[in-house]
Structure 1
Amino acid sequence: MMGIEKLMKLLLLTNLLPTGVRCGKDSVFVYSTLRGEALLPCTDLGGATDCSTIDWTFFKGGQVQYKVEVRGGQVSTDSDKASRITVTSNCSIIISDLIVEDAASYVCKRDGHAITNVYLSLLNISSPSTITELRPGGKLVLSCTLFTYYDAGSCKSYSSGVFSVRWRQEDGTEMPNEERYSLIQNTPCNITLVTHLRMEDNNRRWTCQVNTTESSKAAFLDFTSSFLFQNSPTAQTLNSPAVSQDSSAQLPISRIVLCVALPLMVSIVGFYTWKVDHKRAKVSAATFEL
Protein backbone atom coordinates (compact mmCIF):
# COMPACT_ATOMS: atom_id res chain seq x y z
CA MET A 1 0.00 0.00 0.00
CA MET A 2 2.79 2.38 0.92
CA GLY A 3 4.46 1.60 -2.39
CA ILE A 4 1.34 2.65 -4.30
CA GLU A 5 1.12 5.93 -2.32
CA LYS A 6 4.76 6.75 -3.10
CA LEU A 7 4.16 5.95 -6.79
CA MET A 8 1.10 8.24 -6.90
CA LYS A 9 3.08 11.04 -5.26
CA LEU A 10 5.92 10.59 -7.75
CA LEU A 11 3.47 10.79 -10.64
CA LEU A 12 2.02 13.98 -9.15
CA LEU A 13 5.47 15.57 -8.88
CA THR A 14 6.23 14.56 -12.47
CA ASN A 15 3.08 16.29 -13.68
CA LEU A 16 4.03 19.44 -11.77
CA LEU A 17 7.58 19.50 -13.06
CA PRO A 18 7.98 22.41 -15.48
CA THR A 19 9.75 21.54 -18.69
CA GLY A 20 10.18 25.16 -19.74
CA VAL A 21 8.33 28.44 -19.77
CA ARG A 22 4.92 28.03 -21.25
CA CYS A 23 2.31 30.72 -21.59
CA GLY A 24 -1.32 29.93 -20.95
CA LYS A 25 -4.35 31.27 -19.11
CA ASP A 26 -3.57 29.03 -16.13
CA SER A 27 0.18 29.73 -16.00
CA VAL A 28 1.58 32.88 -14.41
CA PHE A 29 5.24 33.85 -14.23
CA VAL A 30 6.21 36.11 -11.35
CA TYR A 31 9.56 37.86 -10.88
CA SER A 32 10.66 39.59 -7.72
CA THR A 33 13.83 40.26 -5.71
CA LEU A 34 15.41 38.74 -2.64
CA ARG A 35 14.12 40.29 0.59
CA GLY A 36 11.21 41.74 -1.37
CA GLU A 37 7.66 40.41 -1.66
CA ALA A 38 5.63 38.72 -4.37
CA LEU A 39 1.93 38.38 -5.11
CA LEU A 40 1.00 34.93 -6.43
CA PRO A 41 -2.45 35.19 -8.04
CA CYS A 42 -5.07 32.48 -8.01
CA THR A 43 -6.99 32.94 -11.25
CA ASP A 44 -10.06 31.35 -12.83
CA LEU A 45 -12.08 31.34 -9.61
CA GLY A 46 -15.26 31.95 -11.58
CA GLY A 47 -16.29 34.83 -9.33
CA ALA A 48 -16.14 32.70 -6.17
CA THR A 49 -14.83 34.48 -3.07
CA ASP A 50 -14.95 31.57 -0.63
CA CYS A 51 -11.35 30.48 -0.01
CA SER A 52 -12.30 27.53 2.20
CA THR A 53 -11.98 25.23 -0.83
CA ILE A 54 -8.60 26.68 -1.89
CA ASP A 55 -5.20 25.03 -1.31
CA TRP A 56 -1.75 26.24 -2.30
CA THR A 57 1.05 23.74 -2.86
CA PHE A 58 4.79 24.34 -3.24
CA PHE A 59 7.11 22.38 -5.51
CA LYS A 60 10.82 22.94 -5.98
CA GLY A 61 12.54 21.11 -8.82
CA GLY A 62 16.04 19.73 -8.56
CA GLN A 63 15.67 19.23 -4.81
CA VAL A 64 12.24 17.59 -5.29
CA GLN A 65 10.44 19.33 -2.44
CA TYR A 66 6.67 19.25 -2.21
CA LYS A 67 4.64 20.90 0.55
CA VAL A 68 1.17 22.25 1.22
CA GLU A 69 1.48 25.93 2.14
CA VAL A 70 -2.23 26.79 2.38
CA ARG A 71 -5.04 24.36 3.18
CA GLY A 72 -8.70 25.33 3.10
CA GLY A 73 -7.82 29.00 2.75
CA GLN A 74 -5.66 28.96 5.88
CA VAL A 75 -1.86 29.05 6.06
CA SER A 76 -0.52 25.68 7.20
CA THR A 77 0.99 25.93 10.66
CA ASP A 78 3.74 23.48 9.72
CA SER A 79 4.86 25.60 6.76
CA ASP A 80 8.30 27.16 7.10
CA LYS A 81 6.81 30.18 5.33
CA ALA A 82 3.86 30.51 7.72
CA SER A 83 5.03 33.83 9.21
CA ARG A 84 5.65 35.27 5.73
CA ILE A 85 2.50 34.18 3.86
CA THR A 86 -0.73 36.17 3.73
CA VAL A 87 -3.91 34.93 2.03
CA THR A 88 -5.77 37.75 0.27
CA SER A 89 -9.52 38.19 -0.04
CA ASN A 90 -9.45 36.75 -3.58
CA CYS A 91 -7.53 33.64 -2.43
CA SER A 92 -4.18 34.77 -3.85
CA ILE A 93 -1.16 34.71 -1.56
CA ILE A 94 1.55 37.25 -0.74
CA ILE A 95 4.98 36.03 0.31
CA SER A 96 7.16 38.64 2.02
CA ASP A 97 10.85 38.81 2.96
CA LEU A 98 11.68 36.47 0.08
CA ILE A 99 14.63 34.08 0.32
CA VAL A 100 16.35 31.90 -2.29
CA GLU A 101 14.36 28.82 -1.25
CA ASP A 102 11.10 30.59 -2.15
CA ALA A 103 11.97 30.48 -5.85
CA ALA A 104 9.80 27.58 -6.99
CA SER A 105 6.52 26.65 -8.65
CA TYR A 106 3.24 27.05 -6.77
CA VAL A 107 -0.16 25.61 -7.60
CA CYS A 108 -3.51 27.07 -6.58
CA LYS A 109 -6.10 24.31 -6.23
CA ARG A 110 -9.87 24.41 -5.79
CA ASP A 111 -11.49 21.29 -4.43
CA GLY A 112 -8.24 19.45 -5.12
CA HIS A 113 -8.07 20.45 -8.79
CA ALA A 114 -5.23 22.67 -10.03
CA ILE A 115 -6.52 25.93 -11.52
CA THR A 116 -3.40 28.14 -11.58
CA ASN A 117 0.30 27.36 -11.91
CA VAL A 118 2.53 30.18 -10.64
CA TYR A 119 6.27 30.14 -11.30
CA LEU A 120 8.30 32.42 -9.02
CA SER A 121 11.85 33.53 -9.86
CA LEU A 122 13.99 35.89 -7.76
CA LEU A 123 16.65 38.37 -8.83
CA ASN A 124 19.62 39.36 -6.68
CA ILE A 125 22.81 41.47 -6.90
CA SER A 126 25.82 40.58 -4.78
CA SER A 127 29.30 42.08 -4.59
CA PRO A 128 32.62 40.96 -3.05
CA SER A 129 33.88 44.56 -3.31
CA THR A 130 34.45 46.32 0.02
CA ILE A 131 33.15 49.80 0.80
CA THR A 132 36.70 51.16 0.72
CA GLU A 133 36.93 50.13 -2.94
CA LEU A 134 34.04 52.44 -3.84
CA ARG A 135 36.23 55.34 -4.95
CA PRO A 136 37.86 56.59 -8.13
CA GLY A 137 40.41 54.01 -9.20
CA GLY A 138 38.75 51.25 -7.18
CA LYS A 139 37.43 48.04 -8.72
CA LEU A 140 33.74 47.26 -8.50
CA VAL A 141 32.56 43.67 -8.99
CA LEU A 142 28.81 43.04 -9.23
CA SER A 143 27.26 39.62 -9.75
CA CYS A 144 23.62 39.41 -10.85
CA THR A 145 21.81 36.10 -10.39
CA LEU A 146 18.30 34.96 -11.22
CA PHE A 147 17.13 32.18 -8.91
CA THR A 148 14.67 30.30 -11.07
CA TYR A 149 11.57 28.35 -10.10
CA TYR A 150 13.05 25.05 -11.23
CA ASP A 151 16.67 24.89 -10.14
CA ALA A 152 17.72 28.11 -8.44
CA GLY A 153 20.43 30.02 -10.24
CA SER A 154 21.64 27.18 -12.43
CA CYS A 155 19.52 27.74 -15.56
CA LYS A 156 19.51 24.19 -16.81
CA SER A 157 19.56 23.44 -20.53
CA TYR A 158 15.75 23.48 -20.66
CA SER A 159 15.82 27.25 -20.05
CA SER A 160 18.19 28.08 -22.91
CA GLY A 161 16.73 31.08 -24.70
CA VAL A 162 14.02 31.46 -22.04
CA PHE A 163 15.90 33.53 -19.45
CA SER A 164 18.70 36.03 -19.79
CA VAL A 165 20.11 38.60 -17.38
CA ARG A 166 21.84 41.74 -18.65
CA TRP A 167 23.57 44.77 -17.16
CA ARG A 168 22.11 48.08 -18.33
CA GLN A 169 23.51 51.59 -18.37
CA GLU A 170 21.63 54.49 -16.78
CA ASP A 171 20.04 55.40 -20.12
CA GLY A 172 18.64 51.87 -20.44
CA THR A 173 21.03 50.67 -23.14
CA GLU A 174 22.89 47.40 -22.69
CA MET A 175 26.28 47.64 -20.98
CA PRO A 176 29.05 47.32 -23.59
CA ASN A 177 31.73 44.70 -23.12
CA GLU A 178 34.73 46.98 -23.59
CA GLU A 179 37.96 47.95 -21.88
CA ARG A 180 36.31 49.67 -18.93
CA TYR A 181 33.44 47.19 -18.50
CA SER A 182 34.21 43.50 -18.35
CA LEU A 183 31.15 41.25 -18.59
CA ILE A 184 31.39 37.60 -17.59
CA GLN A 185 28.34 35.53 -18.59
CA ASN A 186 28.59 32.49 -16.31
CA THR A 187 25.13 31.12 -17.24
CA PRO A 188 22.04 32.69 -18.83
CA CYS A 189 20.92 33.33 -15.23
CA ASN A 190 24.18 34.75 -13.90
CA ILE A 191 26.32 37.60 -15.19
CA THR A 192 29.21 39.43 -13.50
CA LEU A 193 30.21 43.03 -14.16
CA VAL A 194 33.76 44.21 -13.41
CA THR A 195 34.61 47.89 -13.80
CA HIS A 196 37.23 50.39 -12.64
CA LEU A 197 35.42 53.32 -11.06
CA ARG A 198 35.76 56.96 -12.03
CA MET A 199 34.73 60.14 -10.25
CA GLU A 200 31.51 60.34 -12.26
CA ASP A 201 30.47 56.92 -10.92
CA ASN A 202 29.72 58.39 -7.48
CA ASN A 203 26.04 57.67 -6.68
CA ARG A 204 25.64 55.93 -10.04
CA ARG A 205 22.94 53.29 -10.48
CA TRP A 206 24.00 49.96 -11.98
CA THR A 207 20.95 48.05 -13.24
CA CYS A 208 20.57 44.31 -13.80
CA GLN A 209 17.58 43.31 -15.90
CA VAL A 210 15.84 40.03 -16.58
CA ASN A 211 14.64 39.30 -20.11
CA THR A 212 12.27 36.42 -20.81
CA THR A 213 10.36 35.10 -23.77
CA GLU A 214 7.20 36.77 -22.41
CA SER A 215 8.71 40.11 -21.42
CA SER A 216 11.79 42.08 -22.45
CA LYS A 217 11.79 43.71 -19.01
CA ALA A 218 10.44 41.07 -16.66
CA ALA A 219 12.27 42.49 -13.64
CA PHE A 220 15.21 44.68 -12.76
CA LEU A 221 17.33 45.52 -9.72
CA ASP A 222 19.62 48.48 -9.01
CA PHE A 223 22.91 48.86 -7.14
CA THR A 224 24.16 52.36 -6.23
CA SER A 225 27.90 53.00 -5.94
CA SER A 226 28.14 55.69 -3.25
CA PHE A 227 31.75 56.68 -2.61
CA LEU A 228 33.12 56.67 0.91
CA PHE A 229 36.15 58.64 -0.30
CA GLN A 230 35.69 61.31 -2.96
CA ASN A 231 39.31 60.99 -4.10
CA SER A 232 41.64 58.06 -4.50
CA PRO A 233 44.57 57.92 -2.02
CA THR A 234 46.96 59.06 -4.78
CA ALA A 235 44.77 61.99 -5.68
CA GLN A 236 44.39 62.91 -2.03
CA THR A 237 48.17 63.01 -1.65
CA LEU A 238 48.65 65.11 -4.75
CA ASN A 239 45.86 67.50 -3.89
CA SER A 240 46.73 67.97 -0.22
CA PRO A 241 47.86 71.55 0.54
CA ALA A 242 51.65 71.79 0.80
CA VAL A 243 53.45 74.08 3.26
CA SER A 244 54.67 77.17 1.38
CA GLN A 245 58.09 78.64 1.76
CA ASP A 246 56.58 81.85 3.16
CA SER A 247 54.74 80.07 5.95
CA SER A 248 57.82 78.02 6.84
CA ALA A 249 59.87 81.22 7.05
CA GLN A 250 57.39 82.91 9.34
CA LEU A 251 57.93 80.39 12.09
CA PRO A 252 61.52 81.34 13.13
CA ILE A 253 60.77 85.09 12.71
CA SER A 254 57.86 84.85 15.10
CA ARG A 255 60.03 83.02 17.59
CA ILE A 256 62.70 85.76 17.35
CA VAL A 257 60.13 88.50 17.92
CA LEU A 258 58.74 86.58 20.88
CA CYS A 259 62.21 86.10 22.41
CA VAL A 260 63.02 89.84 22.13
CA ALA A 261 59.65 91.24 23.15
CA LEU A 262 59.08 89.04 26.18
CA PRO A 263 62.23 90.10 28.15
CA LEU A 264 61.59 93.73 27.22
CA MET A 265 58.06 93.56 28.56
CA VAL A 266 59.27 91.90 31.74
CA SER A 267 61.85 94.66 32.21
CA ILE A 268 59.28 97.42 31.69
CA VAL A 269 56.84 95.86 34.15
CA GLY A 270 59.63 95.35 36.68
CA PHE A 271 60.83 98.93 36.39
CA TYR A 272 57.31 100.29 36.75
CA THR A 273 56.70 98.12 39.83
CA TRP A 274 60.00 99.21 41.42
CA LYS A 275 59.17 102.90 40.80
CA VAL A 276 55.75 102.61 42.44
CA ASP A 277 57.18 100.77 45.43
CA HIS A 278 59.98 103.33 45.80
CA LYS A 279 57.46 106.20 45.81
CA ARG A 280 55.35 104.49 48.43
CA ALA A 281 58.43 103.98 50.58
CA LYS A 282 59.24 107.72 50.53
CA VAL A 283 55.70 108.66 51.53
CA SER A 284 55.76 106.18 54.39
CA ALA A 285 59.13 107.56 55.66
CA ALA A 286 57.87 111.17 55.64
CA THR A 287 54.76 110.21 57.56
CA PHE A 288 56.84 108.37 60.16
CA GLU A 289 59.10 111.46 60.79
CA LEU A 290 56.02 113.60 61.46
Structure 2
Amino acid sequence: MLAMKICLLTTLLLAGVRCMKDSLFVYSQLGGDAVLPCTKLNSSHCSFVSWTFYKEGLVRYTYEVSGGRVSADSDKSNRTSIMSNCSLALSGLQVNDAGSYSCLEHKEEVTNVYLSLLTVTSPSSIMELRPGGTLVLSCLLFTYYDPGSCKPYSTSLFKLSWRSEVGAVLQGDRHQLMERSRCKVTLITTLQADDHGRRWRCQVDATNSNIAEFMDFRSTFWSEPAHRDPDLNRSEVTECSAPPPISRMVLCAALPLMVVTVGLFTWRLDRRKARAAAPAGFRLQEIS
Protein backbone atom coordinates (compact mmCIF):
# COMPACT_ATOMS: atom_id res chain seq x y z
CA MET A 1 0.00 0.00 0.00
CA LEU A 2 2.84 2.35 0.89
CA ALA A 3 4.58 1.49 -2.35
CA MET A 4 1.45 2.36 -4.31
CA LYS A 5 1.19 5.76 -2.55
CA ILE A 6 4.83 6.51 -3.28
CA CYS A 7 4.33 5.53 -6.91
CA LEU A 8 1.22 7.69 -7.20
CA LEU A 9 2.96 10.66 -5.58
CA THR A 10 5.92 10.26 -7.90
CA THR A 11 3.61 10.17 -10.90
CA LEU A 12 1.82 13.35 -9.82
CA LEU A 13 5.12 15.16 -9.22
CA LEU A 14 6.43 14.13 -12.59
CA ALA A 15 3.21 15.25 -14.23
CA GLY A 16 3.41 18.60 -12.42
CA VAL A 17 6.97 19.20 -13.51
CA ARG A 18 6.10 18.22 -17.04
CA CYS A 19 3.26 20.77 -17.19
CA MET A 20 5.32 23.57 -15.65
CA LYS A 21 5.94 26.36 -18.17
CA ASP A 22 6.90 30.01 -18.00
CA SER A 23 4.44 32.82 -18.69
CA LEU A 24 6.19 36.03 -19.71
CA PHE A 25 4.78 39.47 -20.52
CA VAL A 26 6.64 41.57 -23.07
CA TYR A 27 5.86 45.20 -23.86
CA SER A 28 7.03 47.21 -26.85
CA GLN A 29 5.77 50.00 -29.10
CA LEU A 30 4.31 50.15 -32.58
CA GLY A 31 7.07 50.23 -35.16
CA GLY A 32 9.61 48.98 -32.63
CA ASP A 33 11.33 45.65 -32.02
CA ALA A 34 10.77 42.87 -29.51
CA VAL A 35 12.56 39.70 -28.40
CA LEU A 36 10.37 36.88 -27.12
CA PRO A 37 12.43 34.53 -24.91
CA CYS A 38 12.13 30.76 -25.00
CA THR A 39 13.02 29.42 -21.55
CA LYS A 40 13.43 26.01 -19.92
CA LEU A 41 14.74 24.30 -23.03
CA ASN A 42 16.26 20.88 -22.55
CA SER A 43 18.36 21.18 -25.67
CA SER A 44 20.32 23.97 -27.31
CA HIS A 45 19.37 22.78 -30.77
CA CYS A 46 16.71 25.08 -32.20
CA SER A 47 15.78 22.46 -34.79
CA PHE A 48 13.52 20.95 -32.12
CA VAL A 49 11.84 24.31 -31.40
CA SER A 50 8.68 25.79 -32.88
CA TRP A 51 6.81 29.04 -32.21
CA THR A 52 3.04 29.47 -32.52
CA PHE A 53 0.96 32.64 -32.50
CA TYR A 54 -2.61 33.11 -31.30
CA LYS A 55 -4.71 36.26 -31.58
CA GLU A 56 -7.97 36.07 -29.65
CA GLY A 57 -9.68 38.94 -31.47
CA LEU A 58 -8.88 37.42 -34.87
CA VAL A 59 -9.28 33.79 -33.71
CA ARG A 60 -6.06 32.92 -35.48
CA TYR A 61 -3.56 30.21 -34.61
CA THR A 62 -0.48 29.94 -36.82
CA TYR A 63 3.03 28.53 -36.81
CA GLU A 64 5.59 31.32 -36.99
CA VAL A 65 8.58 28.99 -36.62
CA SER A 66 8.68 25.29 -37.35
CA GLY A 67 11.72 23.08 -36.82
CA GLY A 68 13.88 26.09 -36.00
CA ARG A 69 13.03 27.87 -39.26
CA VAL A 70 10.72 30.80 -39.93
CA SER A 71 7.59 29.65 -41.74
CA ALA A 72 7.26 31.08 -45.22
CA ASP A 73 3.46 31.13 -44.79
CA SER A 74 3.66 33.58 -41.88
CA ASP A 75 2.40 37.09 -42.64
CA LYS A 76 5.38 38.47 -40.72
CA SER A 77 8.05 36.17 -42.08
CA ASN A 78 10.04 39.10 -43.47
CA ARG A 79 10.11 40.66 -39.99
CA THR A 80 10.82 37.51 -37.99
CA SER A 81 14.07 35.75 -37.14
CA ILE A 82 15.10 32.98 -34.76
CA MET A 83 18.03 33.78 -32.47
CA SER A 84 20.87 31.50 -31.42
CA ASN A 85 19.15 30.81 -28.08
CA CYS A 86 15.90 29.98 -29.94
CA SER A 87 14.22 33.24 -28.89
CA LEU A 88 11.90 34.88 -31.41
CA ALA A 89 12.90 38.33 -32.70
CA LEU A 90 10.28 40.61 -34.26
CA SER A 91 10.91 43.93 -35.98
CA GLY A 92 8.67 46.69 -37.36
CA LEU A 93 5.90 45.75 -34.94
CA GLN A 94 2.33 46.19 -36.14
CA VAL A 95 -1.03 46.18 -34.37
CA ASN A 96 -1.80 42.60 -35.37
CA ASP A 97 1.49 41.40 -33.87
CA ALA A 98 0.08 41.79 -30.37
CA GLY A 99 -1.05 38.44 -29.05
CA SER A 100 -0.02 35.20 -27.38
CA TYR A 101 3.12 33.37 -28.53
CA SER A 102 4.11 29.87 -27.43
CA CYS A 103 7.53 28.26 -27.65
CA LEU A 104 7.37 24.48 -28.10
CA GLU A 105 10.12 21.92 -27.78
CA HIS A 106 9.35 18.55 -29.32
CA LYS A 107 5.78 19.89 -29.78
CA GLU A 108 5.35 20.53 -26.03
CA GLU A 109 4.86 24.08 -24.74
CA VAL A 110 7.70 25.33 -22.56
CA THR A 111 7.09 29.12 -22.63
CA ASN A 112 4.08 31.36 -23.18
CA VAL A 113 4.87 34.96 -24.11
CA TYR A 114 2.16 37.64 -24.15
CA LEU A 115 3.11 40.61 -26.34
CA SER A 116 1.42 43.99 -25.86
CA LEU A 117 2.11 47.11 -27.95
CA LEU A 118 2.03 50.74 -26.93
CA THR A 119 0.87 53.62 -29.12
CA VAL A 120 0.11 57.34 -28.73
CA THR A 121 -2.54 59.20 -30.75
CA SER A 122 -3.78 62.79 -30.72
CA PRO A 123 -7.04 64.26 -32.08
CA SER A 124 -5.63 67.79 -31.66
CA SER A 125 -5.13 69.72 -34.89
CA ILE A 126 -1.87 71.44 -35.75
CA MET A 127 -3.64 74.80 -35.32
CA GLU A 128 -4.08 74.02 -31.61
CA LEU A 129 -0.35 73.50 -31.03
CA ARG A 130 0.33 76.99 -29.73
CA PRO A 131 0.45 78.71 -26.34
CA GLY A 132 -3.05 78.67 -24.87
CA GLY A 133 -4.14 75.77 -27.08
CA THR A 134 -5.36 72.42 -25.83
CA LEU A 135 -3.33 69.27 -26.40
CA VAL A 136 -5.11 65.92 -26.14
CA LEU A 137 -3.00 62.75 -26.11
CA SER A 138 -4.36 59.22 -25.80
CA CYS A 139 -2.11 56.37 -24.75
CA LEU A 140 -3.46 52.97 -25.79
CA LEU A 141 -2.07 49.54 -25.07
CA PHE A 142 -2.83 46.89 -27.69
CA THR A 143 -2.97 43.87 -25.45
CA TYR A 144 -2.82 40.19 -26.32
CA TYR A 145 -6.64 40.29 -26.20
CA ASP A 146 -8.03 43.36 -27.93
CA PRO A 147 -6.94 47.01 -28.18
CA GLY A 148 -7.68 48.74 -24.91
CA SER A 149 -9.23 45.60 -23.42
CA CYS A 150 -7.99 44.64 -19.97
CA LYS A 151 -8.94 41.28 -18.56
CA PRO A 152 -9.50 41.26 -14.78
CA TYR A 153 -6.40 39.24 -13.93
CA SER A 154 -4.16 41.23 -16.30
CA THR A 155 -4.73 44.68 -14.78
CA SER A 156 -2.37 43.92 -11.90
CA LEU A 157 0.48 43.13 -14.29
CA PHE A 158 1.04 46.63 -15.65
CA LYS A 159 0.15 50.28 -15.21
CA LEU A 160 -0.06 53.11 -17.75
CA SER A 161 0.90 56.67 -16.84
CA TRP A 162 1.71 60.02 -18.44
CA ARG A 163 5.10 61.46 -17.52
CA SER A 164 7.46 64.25 -18.45
CA GLU A 165 10.44 63.56 -20.69
CA VAL A 166 12.58 63.00 -17.59
CA GLY A 167 10.13 60.47 -16.13
CA ALA A 168 8.29 62.63 -13.58
CA VAL A 169 4.55 61.95 -13.21
CA LEU A 170 2.52 64.80 -14.73
CA GLN A 171 0.45 66.63 -12.17
CA GLY A 172 -0.91 70.11 -11.54
CA ASP A 173 -3.96 72.16 -12.49
CA ARG A 174 -3.26 72.28 -16.21
CA HIS A 175 -2.92 68.51 -16.60
CA GLN A 176 -6.10 66.42 -16.62
CA LEU A 177 -6.12 62.63 -16.86
CA MET A 178 -9.04 60.62 -18.16
CA GLU A 179 -8.69 56.88 -17.56
CA ARG A 180 -11.24 54.91 -19.54
CA SER A 181 -9.54 51.66 -18.58
CA ARG A 182 -6.19 50.43 -17.31
CA CYS A 183 -5.21 50.04 -20.98
CA LYS A 184 -6.12 53.55 -22.12
CA VAL A 185 -5.20 56.83 -20.46
CA THR A 186 -5.87 60.26 -22.03
CA LEU A 187 -3.96 63.43 -21.14
CA ILE A 188 -5.56 66.88 -21.61
CA THR A 189 -3.26 69.84 -21.03
CA THR A 190 -3.21 73.57 -21.74
CA LEU A 191 -0.06 74.47 -23.62
CA GLN A 192 2.38 77.12 -22.48
CA ALA A 193 5.14 78.92 -24.34
CA ASP A 194 7.84 76.67 -22.90
CA ASP A 195 6.01 73.54 -24.18
CA HIS A 196 7.40 74.12 -27.67
CA GLY A 197 9.48 71.06 -28.55
CA ARG A 198 8.57 69.31 -25.30
CA ARG A 199 8.24 65.51 -25.20
CA TRP A 200 5.21 63.97 -23.50
CA ARG A 201 5.82 60.40 -22.43
CA CYS A 202 3.36 57.54 -22.07
CA GLN A 203 4.92 54.80 -19.96
CA VAL A 204 3.88 51.26 -19.14
CA ASP A 205 5.33 49.77 -15.98
CA ALA A 206 5.24 46.01 -15.46
CA THR A 207 4.84 44.93 -11.85
CA ASN A 208 6.98 41.84 -12.37
CA SER A 209 9.83 43.67 -14.10
CA ASN A 210 12.01 46.70 -13.53
CA ILE A 211 12.01 47.45 -17.24
CA ALA A 212 9.58 50.15 -18.35
CA GLU A 213 8.50 50.69 -21.93
CA PHE A 214 7.56 54.19 -23.07
CA MET A 215 6.58 56.17 -26.15
CA ASP A 216 7.07 59.92 -26.64
CA PHE A 217 5.08 62.63 -28.42
CA ARG A 218 6.79 65.92 -29.27
CA SER A 219 4.68 69.10 -29.32
CA THR A 220 6.10 71.39 -32.00
CA PHE A 221 4.15 74.62 -32.23
CA TRP A 222 2.53 75.78 -35.43
CA SER A 223 3.58 79.26 -36.59
CA GLU A 224 1.62 81.55 -38.90
CA PRO A 225 3.32 82.67 -42.12
CA ALA A 226 4.73 86.19 -41.90
CA HIS A 227 2.63 88.92 -43.62
CA ARG A 228 4.48 91.07 -46.13
CA ASP A 229 4.25 94.87 -46.26
CA PRO A 230 1.87 95.86 -49.11
CA ASP A 231 3.88 99.05 -49.77
CA LEU A 232 6.99 96.92 -50.11
CA ASN A 233 5.17 94.70 -52.59
CA ARG A 234 4.19 97.71 -54.70
CA SER A 235 7.72 99.05 -54.75
CA GLU A 236 9.03 95.66 -55.72
CA VAL A 237 6.54 95.47 -58.59
CA THR A 238 7.53 98.95 -59.78
CA GLU A 239 11.24 98.37 -59.65
CA CYS A 240 11.25 94.78 -60.82
CA SER A 241 8.53 94.94 -63.48
CA ALA A 242 9.52 93.04 -66.56
CA PRO A 243 9.93 94.87 -69.90
CA PRO A 244 7.04 94.50 -72.38
CA PRO A 245 7.36 91.54 -74.70
CA ILE A 246 8.61 92.04 -78.26
CA SER A 247 5.19 91.16 -79.72
CA ARG A 248 3.64 94.07 -77.88
CA MET A 249 6.33 96.46 -79.17
CA VAL A 250 5.78 95.31 -82.76
CA LEU A 251 2.01 95.76 -82.40
CA CYS A 252 2.39 99.28 -81.03
CA ALA A 253 4.66 100.25 -83.93
CA ALA A 254 2.61 98.59 -86.67
CA LEU A 255 -0.81 99.88 -85.59
CA PRO A 256 -0.30 103.57 -86.61
CA LEU A 257 1.15 102.45 -89.95
CA MET A 258 -1.90 100.29 -90.59
CA VAL A 259 -4.24 103.20 -89.79
CA VAL A 260 -2.41 105.52 -92.20
CA THR A 261 -2.43 102.87 -94.94
CA VAL A 262 -6.15 102.17 -94.60
CA GLY A 263 -6.92 105.91 -94.57
CA LEU A 264 -4.91 106.55 -97.74
CA PHE A 265 -6.56 103.60 -99.53
CA THR A 266 -10.01 104.86 -98.56
CA TRP A 267 -9.26 108.39 -99.72
CA ARG A 268 -8.12 107.22 -103.16
CA LEU A 269 -11.17 104.99 -103.56
CA ASP A 270 -13.53 107.87 -102.69
CA ARG A 271 -11.82 110.15 -105.23
CA ARG A 272 -12.24 107.62 -108.05
CA LYS A 273 -15.94 107.27 -107.25
CA ALA A 274 -16.36 111.04 -107.32
CA ARG A 275 -14.76 111.35 -110.78
CA ALA A 276 -17.00 108.65 -112.20
CA ALA A 277 -20.11 110.40 -110.90
CA ALA A 278 -19.25 113.92 -112.19
CA PRO A 279 -21.45 115.40 -115.13
CA ALA A 280 -20.10 115.85 -118.62
CA GLY A 281 -18.12 119.05 -119.14
CA PHE A 282 -17.35 119.34 -115.47
CA ARG A 283 -13.96 118.25 -114.36
CA LEU A 284 -12.56 117.96 -110.91
CA GLN A 285 -9.27 119.61 -110.39
CA GLU A 286 -6.86 119.11 -107.60
CA ILE A 287 -6.05 122.23 -105.67
CA SER A 288 -2.41 122.35 -105.02
Report the TM range for the smaller structure's normalisation: 0.5 to 0.7
| 2:71 paired with 1:76 | yes
Q: Distance in 1 between matches of 2:30 and 2:113?
A: 17
Residues 216 and 40 of structure 1: is their aligned pair in 2 closer, same or farther, counting only changes over 3 Å? closer
1:69-103: CA deviation from partner (whole Å, max 9, x where unpaired): 11111111111111111111221111111111111
Q: Distance in 2 between matches of 1:164 and 1:216?
A: 13
Residues 216 and 196 of structure 1: is their aligned pair in 2 closer, same or farther, counting only changes over 3 Å? farther
SS at match of 1:183: strand
User: Equivalent pairs: percent with the same residue?
Assistant: 52
Contact persistence 1:211–1:217 (CA under 8 A) = yes
What is the root-mean-square deviation in Å for CA atoms of aligned residues? 2.5
Q: What amino acid is aligned across from residue 103 of structure 1 in structure 2?
A: A
Contact persistence 1:141–1:193 (CA under 8 A) = yes
Contact persistence 1:38–1:95 (CA under 8 A) = yes
- Normalised by the length of structure 2, the TM-score is 0.67
| 2:102 paired with 1:123 | no
| 2:99 paired with 1:104 | yes
Q: What amino acid is aligned across from residue 224 of structure 1 in structure 2?
A: R
SS at match of 1:182: strand
Q: Which runs of structure 2 are paired with 1:84-95 in the superposition (5 Å)?
A: 84-95=79-90
Residues 53 and 214 of structure 1: is their aligned pair in 2 closer, same or farther, counting only changes over 3 Å? same
Partner of 1:40: 36
1:140-172: CA deviation from partner (whole Å, max 9, x where unpaired): 111001111133321133323333211012442
Match of 2:201 among 196, 200, 207: 207
Residues 161 and 51 of structure 1: is their aligned pair in 2 closer, same or farther, counting only changes over 3 Å? closer
Q: Distance in 1 between matches of 2:28 and 2:166?
A: 22
Partner of 1:166: 161
Residues 126 and 193 of structure 1: is their aligned pair in 2 closer, same or farther, counting only changes over 3 Å? same
Q: Which runs of structure 2 are paired with 1:130-279 in the superposition (5 Å)?
A: 130-176=125-171, 178-215=172-209, 218-229=212-223
Q: What amino acid is aligned across from residue 205 of structure 1 in structure 2?
A: R
Contact persistence 1:54–1:73 (CA under 8 A) = yes
Partner of 1:284: none
Q: Residue 25 of structure 1: CA displacement?
A: 6.9
Residues 69 and 159 of structure 1: is their aligned pair in 2 closer, same or farther, counting only changes over 3 Å? same
Partner of 2:45: 50
Q: Distance in 2 between matches of 1:170 and 1:76?
A: 40
Q: What stretches of structure 1 move > 6 A for 4+ residues in a row?
A: none
Q: Residue 186 of structure 1: CA displacement?
A: 0.9
1:175-207: CA deviation from partner (whole Å, max 9, x where unpaired): 22x531121101101011111111110111111
Q: Distance in 2 between matches of 1:26 and 1:217?
A: 18
Q: What amino acid is aligned across from residue 178 of structure 2 in structure 1?
A: I
Q: Distance in 1 between matches of 2:209 and 2:110?
A: 23
Q: Distance in 1 between matches of 2:103 and 2:210?
A: 27
Contact persistence 1:209–1:217 (CA under 8 A) = no
1:28-86: CA deviation from partner (whole Å, max 9, x where unpaired): 2211000111011112224x332211100001224432111111111111111111111
Q: What is the aligned residue count?
A: 211
Residues 52 and 84 of structure 1: is their aligned pair in 2 closer, same or farther, counting only changes over 3 Å? same
User: Structure 2 stretches of 5 or more lacking a match?
Assistant: 1-19, 232-288
